[in-house]
Structure formats: structure tokens, C-alpha cells
A = this chain, B = another copy of it.
Amino acid sequence: MNRQTLLDLLERVRSLNISPEQAAEKLRNLPFEDAEFAKIDHHRTLRTGLPEVIYSAGKTPAQVSEIFLRMTQMGTSVLATRANEVVFAQVKALVPEAHYYEQAKIVAYRGGERTSNGGPLAVLSAGTSDQPAAEEAAVAAECLGAEVERVFDVGVAGLHRLLAHRDVLDRARVVIVCAGMEGALPSVVGGLVGAPVIAVPTSVGYGTSFGGLTALLGMLNSCSPNVTTVNIDNGFGAAYVACSMLRQIQLGKSK
């Protein structure tokens, strides 16, 4: 609710179009919808310019599919992350156009056309095992409208593999780097590019990898100052931040 809407509302009070009681009520009624188990926040899309997202873990397939349906009814694109086959089946029953990205574990419905989104986004992964997180990031970013370039399996133990893709790194406006174990790849990439690097620690490893904690700590302590970090295995979060950056670039162009 921006200042103009507020002024309009108050103007209507002054012009006796609505009563103070009605105005007070309107001031309280922001555009969210109350389902039995989840309050759906429709004005986030307006606020952020990005589609709605459902985090499926900890919700029943029935809950996910019902929220999914309601959101699609608003006309916007919808994503459900951390969704398994069962969730997909229930969503598809309600929203036949929904698509399942298996490795990324994302169910998506694309409401409008894809908007070109500020420039290419590079998504890198250190090893084969980091691919699920990287795919979550890449698919989510694509669903959020970004142009994505994937560079997978380029861990620091074989630098030449990474260096062979310097062209992708050079043209990316934002770089997402997924790595488990010691999580060193974002530091090396951060030293090669001028764009912001979003590091995604993955839970790949054993023993003292502590389910991704070691990779996370490594990324938070990166000696490259253009590295910032999200939670372990949070490919979606990295994609969301990256797309909010790309959107700012796009908004900057139009000014």
C-alpha cells in the first residue's frame, strides 16, 4: 500500500464516499488470503516482481497442491521447491499445465511469458554430486525469468577445467557457485570475475563435512570479497537473490 493509495483512500473519506469505519477496515485489509492452514500472500508478487514460491518440505502433498492451485488462479507463475513425485502428481491433478523438473525437485507453472531478465546468470557446480543443488538453482532461476548458463563439475582440484570456461564467467552478471566438501570454488571464481558471486554450500561430503557446514564456513570466510552466501543446499535461495539482482539491472536500464 503506497502513499498514493493511502491519499486516495483518505480523499474518499473527505469526500464522504466512504465512512471512517470503512476506511479503517480497508487500512487493515491488506491483500492476503486466508486458507485454513496457510495465509497466502498475493501482494509479494506485486512487491518483488517475482513469481510465488511454495517450499514443499514439511507440508502435505494436499497442502502444497491446494496452495499451488490458488496461486495459479492469480495468474502469476508458481514454483514448488523440494517437491517429490507424489507432490507433483497431486499438483498436476489440479493444475495440468504444471511441469516437474526431477533433478531440481521443482514443480513449476509458468503464468506469463518469460521476461528477459538483466543479463546472463552463470550457475557452476564443483562436482557431480553437487548437481542437485545446482539444478535447483538453475531451474528456479529460469522459472523466475533468468537466462542461465550451466558450468558443472569444475572443482578446484583440476583448475584447467574451470579456466576453460572463462568466457561464461566473463559475460555473467551474477554467478552462483555450488560446492560441497571444502567449498573452495567460490573463492577461486570470485578472484576471476567482477560480478557478485552467490555461494551455495552443498551437503556433499562425509565425516567432518558435517552435512555442508564445512563448505558453508569456507564460503563465509572467502578471501574473495565479492562472495556472499546462502544456507546449505539452498539453490532456490541463491536463484531468488540472483534474480532480484538481475531485476534491478533490468529496472536500471528502463530509467
Contact = CB atoms under 8 A, between A and B. Distances in A.
A100 interface: no
Nearest to A196: B244
Interface string A191-229: 111111010010111111111111111111111111111
Contacts of A29: 164
Given A7-B24, A232-B207, A222 B41 contact: no
Given A14-B14, A59-B128, A225-B241, A214 B208 contact: no
B240 A226 contact: yes
Contacts of A215: 221
A214 B10 CA distance: 43
16 contacts: A10-B13, A47-B192, A157-B191, A174-B248, A205-B221, A207-B212, A208-B221, A210-B217, A214-B220, A215-B221, A220-B229, A221-B231, A225-B241, A228-B229, A228-B237, A229-B230
Interface of A: 2-3, 6-7, 10-11, 13-14, 16, 19-21, 23-24, 27-30, 32, 37-39, 41, 44, 47-50, 53, 57-59, 63, 118-119, 126-129, 131, 152-161, 163-164, 170, 173-174, 181-184, 187-188, 190-196, 198, 201, 203-234, 236-238, 240-241, 244-245, 247-253, 255
